[in-house]
Amino acid sequence: MSKELVEKPTRANEEEKSMYSWTSTEKESSKKKYSCEIMIENGTWEQVRTTDCPNDARIVTYEVDGETRYDLTRSSKAVYIFNMYWDKFRDGLKKIEYGMGRINPKLWGYQAPTSKKKK
């Protein structure tokens, strides 16, 4: 077999097998269209089971090209998360379960105001 016949991997082939399932535009539009926020995309099982997230976050398990992936997504209602993942992956969607978050969603991202020095 000659070297010319051997197909070299191209940049396009590598990008098709990307580690990310969502484009940046899809992530931004999901906030408006589905009222969902993808916090961790294609994380490991240990990453999505973090306790440093709001308690309304859900762990979504889905399959892409035979590979099981995990996302940590939050929304006010689980049905919004289902709709978003169903529209994108259809039969690849395996399950949606509660996350391990311990932070009140109202306090998520809250920064205490800086106090002024008294004279």
How many structural domains compose the chain?
1
**Does 4 map to a domain?**
no
For 77-87, b where at least 16 C-beta lie within 10 A, e where not — what string?
eeebbbbbbee
**Does 86 map to a domain?**
yes
Are 65 and 39 in contact by the 8 Å Cβ rule? The answer is no
Kindly report whether the global pTM for this prediction surpasses the value 0.85: no
Domain ranges, residue 35? 22-103
Per-residue pLDDT of 21-56, as tens digits, reads 899 999 999 999 999 999 999 999 999 999 999 999
**Does 1 map to a domain?**
no
Mean pLDDT of 82-106: 94
